[in-house]
Structure 1
Amino acid sequence: MKFNVKSALSYNVNGPTTFIFNIHALNTSSQTVLEENLTIDPAINHDVFTAHDGRSKFMRLKIQEPCNFSMSYSAIVDMSYKIIDENNSENLVSVVELDSYIASFLYPSRYCQSDKLMKFSFKEFGHYATVYDRVLAITEWIYNNIEYTSGSTDSQTSAIDTITERVGVCRDFAHLGIALCRALSIPARYFTGYAYQLNPPDFHACFEAYIDGDWIIFDSTKLVAVNGLVKIANGRDAADSAVASIFGNAVGTSITVDCQVMDDNFQPFIYGGNQKAISFQ
Structure 2
Amino acid sequence: MWLNASCFLEFQMSVPTPFLLMLRPRSGWQQWIAREEYVLSPSVPVVEFTDSFGNLCQRIVAPAGHFSVRTSVDIETAEASDTAPGAPFVEVQHLPNEALPFLYPSRYCESDRFTNMAASLVTGRISGYDQCSAIVDYIRDAIRYTPGDGQQIISASELNQLGHGVCRDMAHLGIACCRALSIPARMVVGYLEALEPMDLHAWFEAYVGNRWYTFDPTQTDLKGGRVAIAFGRDAADVAIYTQFGDPVELLNMDVRVQQMSGPPY
- Give the superposition deviation at 1:152: 3.8
Correspondence for 1:26: 26
Does residue 124 in structure 1 map to residue 121 in structure 2?
yes
- Secondary structure of 2:170 counterpart: helix
- Give the superposition deviation at 1:81: 7.9
Runs of 5+ consecutive residues of structure 1 not aligned to the other structure: 265-281
Contact 1:196 1:224 in 2 (8 A): no
Q: Evaluate the alpha carbon distance shift between residue 224 and residue 123 of structure 1 in structure 2; reply closer, same or farther with a 3 A threshold.
A: closer
Alignment RMSD, CA only?
2.0
- Give the superposition deviation at 1:82: 9.1
Identity of aligned residues (%): 34
Does residue 180 in structure 1 map to residue 184 in structure 2?
no
1:79-128 per-residue CA deviation (whole Å, 9 max, x = no partner) reads 248976634433x2110111221111110011000000111111122431
- Give the superposition deviation at 1:144: 1.1
Correspondence for 1:273: none
Correspondence for 1:217: 214
Correspondence for 1:253: 251
Contact 1:102 1:187 in 2 (8 A): yes
1:253-275 per-residue CA deviation (whole Å, 9 max, x = no partner) reads 110001112138xxxxxxxxxxx
- Give the superposition deviation at 1:25: 1.7
- CA distance in structure 2 between the partners assigned to 1:84 and 1:149 by the alignment: 26
Trace 1:33-182 onto structure 2 (pairs within 5 A).
Answer: 33-53=33-53, 55-63=54-62, 65-80=63-78, 86-90=84-88, 92-182=89-179
Q: Evaluate the alpha carbon distance shift between residue 10 and residue 223 of structure 1 in structure 2; reply closer, same or farther with a 3 A threshold.
A: farther
Question: How many residue pairs end up in the alignment?
Answer: 261
- Secondary structure of 2:14 counterpart: strand
Correspondence for 1:189: 186
Q: Evaluate the alpha carbon distance shift between residue 156 and residue 6 of structure 1 in structure 2; reply closer, same or farther with a 3 A threshold.
A: closer
Alignment-mate amino acid for residue 7 of structure 1: C
Correspondence for 1:278: none
- CA distance in structure 2 between the partners assigned to 1:49 and 1:155 by the alignment: 28
Stretches of 4+ aligned residues off by more than 2 angstroms? 80-90, 150-156, 223-227
Q: Evaluate the alpha carbon distance shift between residue 223 and residue 127 of structure 1 in structure 2; reply closer, same or farther with a 3 A threshold.
A: closer
- Secondary structure of 1:15 counterpart: coil
- CA distance in structure 2 between the partners assigned to 1:84 and 1:219 by the alignment: 12
Q: Evaluate the alpha carbon distance shift between residue 38 and residue 105 of structure 1 in structure 2; reply closer, same or farther with a 3 A threshold.
A: same
- Give the superposition deviation at 1:224: 7.5
Deviates more, 1:125-134 or 1:200-209: 125-134
Correspondence for 1:272: none
Contact 2:86 2:126 in 1 (8 A): no
- Give the superposition deviation at 1:29: 3.4
Correspondence for 1:268: none
- CA distance in structure 2 between the partners assigned to 1:204 and 1:167 by the alignment: 16
Deviates more, 1:145-154 or 1:199-208: 145-154
- CA distance in structure 2 between the partners assigned to 1:86 and 1:149 by the alignment: 28
Q: Evaluate the alpha carbon distance shift between residue 236 and residue 166 of structure 1 in structure 2; reply closer, same or farther with a 3 A threshold.
A: same
TM-score by length of 1: 0.87
- Give the superposition deviation at 1:226: 4.4
Deviates more, 1:223-232 or 1:165-174: 223-232
Contact 1:198 1:223 in 2 (8 A): no
